[in-house]
Amino acid sequence: MKELILGGIRSGKSRLAEQRARETGHPVTYIATAVAADEEMRARIAAHRMRRPDSWKVIEEPRALAAVLSAHAAPGRCLVVECLTLWLTNLLLDENPNVLAAQRSALLAHLPELPGHVIFVANETGMGIVPAVALARRFCDEAGQLHQAIAAHCDRVILCVSGLPCLLKGKQS
């Protein structure tokens, strides 16, 4: 089972992903893609850490997502990727312009083969105005394309709005 949970900032998407991971009854591995570059991000990371059960294994990986997923996905396991948007940001800001294409291709190539339950969390960025800055426009374009490609491989896609899950694809569980 593969799921994509999208939503805006503070929409409840992370809590929903954590709830769904607990409901699987499987051992959970939480793959954190954030980089604590400033105090605000450190505070966000700390809040996420406090919510997670101590029994969950945590892997911090800001770039090589496909390799981590391939190494840890297994039948009877649940992986939570928090989040695709931060992962994409890390790749866009990498000094090597080829890193994004290589990592994105690797993720999409491995995704169909991943065993177990995988839950991806991402910020929906395509519901606002077109940004004035070129990097921000590229980010929105890349995020939209990534989300569409991931959603095509997922069994369930949920948009979280105001803490309410809106099923876009798949069956209710």
Q: Annotated active-site positions, please?
A: 48
Do 1 and 117 meet the contact criterion of CB atoms below 8 Å apart?
Answer: yes
Phi, psi of 30 (to 5 degrees): -105, 120
- The residues, any chain, with a CB within 8 Å of residue 59's CB and separated by 6 or more, are 29, 30, 31, 32, 68, 72
CA distance linking residue 21 with residue 25, whole number of Å: 7
CA distance linking residue 12 with residue 166, whole number of Å: 12
Do 161 and 11 meet the contact criterion of CB atoms below 8 Å apart?
Answer: yes
User: CA-CA-CA-CA torsion for 111, 99, 62, 115, nearest 10 degrees?
Assistant: 10
Task: Provide the phi-psi class of 82: left if phi over 0, else alpha when psi is between -120 and 50, else beta.
Answer: beta
